[in-house]
Amino acid sequence: MAEVLVLVELNPAAGGPRKTTLEALTAARALGEPSAVVIGAPGTAAGVKDALAEYGAAKVYVAESPEVEEYLVAPKAEVLAQLVAEKSPAAVVIPSSPEGKEIAGRLAIKTGSGFLTDVTEIAPDGTATQVAFAGATIVHSQVTVGTPIYTLRGNSVTPEPAPAAGAEETVQVQISEAAKATRVTDRVVEQKSSRPELTEASIVVSGGRGVASAENFSVIEGLADSLGAAVGASRAAVDSGFYPHSFQVGQTGKTVSPQLYIAVGISGAIQHRAGMQTSKIIVAVNKDPEAPIFELADFGVVGDLNTVVPAATQQISARRG
């Protein structure tokens, strides 16, 4: 069976692979037998290899080096290019984070290949599905040159276990001087949150201009916490200073595709729809019955968010005991 390389995205906070990695392993199985590629500091693979094997990694390539995390993007692309040259895989699948897309791009140049970003599905013949223009257009694309490289959008594929051997193979890491051009000198976490990460969450509750103030975002957070959801914000809310930019959902922010998206006080401008239109179930609360968000919503409540949302939060908390 053809070998498919899957780059492992790590979750430094929780210690294991990110859910996006398990999704990528699942998607890669349409193309062949996944081999996970762990690139990180020494000792990294030990904490993730069991999960990788459980989700279908026949092999785990361990590329560990103290230097690899000191530089941006380029070293990881070099390791993958080396593996592509040695193993001639049928394809490479990478989780679609900003870094993942940049690795894909550099790998494409290095290997003389084409690449497709933010794919939501990969068919056995290599055809990928992409969502274009704020979710309005569904596109099927193919790589026509070299080793196809895909970045898989988070939450597009449900991770399914498929236990495999997970046989470890050590990869010698040699970082070129050119790949050391950009140094990472610090990694700063500004918002520590017990809530799930926005792009990974199965439920997202977002607030918009209608929330009216930064303080009042506690209404959104309350509903989110009752559901174990992530919190998002529209651009209008972010531009108004109600909530930090890293939580912005939309064209110039994050794209999310959760099981349930609850839009509160969000009118539903194209800019916002671009980031959430592919959510499975959409619920809206807005006082304006003409708000375009209702065109997308499976269920909408026309009313004042300040009465509807706290009451709903209370009822959900009561149900969950």
3-state SS, residue 7: strand
Which is closer to another protein, CB of 35 or CB of 267?
A: 267
Q: How many residues does the chain have?
A: 321
| Cα 85 to Cα 88: distance, rounded to the nearest angstrom | 6
Closer of 29 and 235 to another protein (Cβ)? 235
Task: Classify burial at 66, counting beta carbons within 10 Å of its beta carbon; exposed 0-12, middle 13-18, buried 19 or more.
Answer: exposed
CA distance 160 to 270: 33
3-state secondary structure at position 118: strand
Please list every residue from 91 through 110 that binds another protein, using CB under 8 A. 98, 101-106, 108-110
Q: Which is nearer to another protein, 35 or 206 (CB)?
A: 206
For position 290 contacting another protein by CB under 8 A, the verdict is no
- What minimum distance in Å lies between the beta carbon of 217 and another protein? 16
Binder of another protein out of 127, 162, 209, 225 (CB under 8 A): 127
Contacts with another protein, 9-48, as mask; x by CB under 8 A:
----------------------------------------
Taking CA atoms, 258 is separated from 151, 177, 216, 230, 282, in Å, by 18, 41, 24, 10, 9
The closest of 84, 208, 217 to 149, measured between CA atoms, is 84
CB 127 within 8 A of CB 67: no
CB of residue 299 to another protein, shortest distance in Å: 4
Q: Give the contact letters, 256-285, x = binds to another protein (CB under 8 A), - = no.
A: ---xx--------xxx--x--x---xxx-x
- Residue whose CB is less far from another protein, 71 or 162: 71
21 or 199, CB closer to another protein?
199
Range 173-232, binding another protein (CB under 8 A): 178, 181-193, 197-199, 203, 227
Q: How close are the terminal C-alpha atoms of the chain, in Å?
A: 49
The site that binds another protein (CB under 8 A) totals a number of residues, namely 93
CA neighbor of 210 nearest in space, from 317, 316, 308: 308
- Of the candidates 8, 45, 80, 309, which one interacts with another protein according to CB under 8 A? 309
Cβ proximity to another protein, 170 vs 315, nearer residue: 315
Which two three-digit tokens encode residue 198?
């926005």
Q: Are 302 and 289 in contact (CB under 8 A)?
A: yes
Instruction: Please identify, using beta-carbon distances, which residue of 14 and 138 lies nearer to another protein.
Output: 138
Residue 33 bridge partners (DSSP): 3
Binding residue for another protein, selected from 162, 175, 212, 302, defined by CB under 8 A? 302
Cα distances from 285 to residues 205, 269, 307, 320, in angstroms, run 11, 15, 11, 22
Which part of the chain contacts another protein (CB under 8 A), choosing from 31-39, 51-59, 162-170, 289-297?
Answer: 289-297
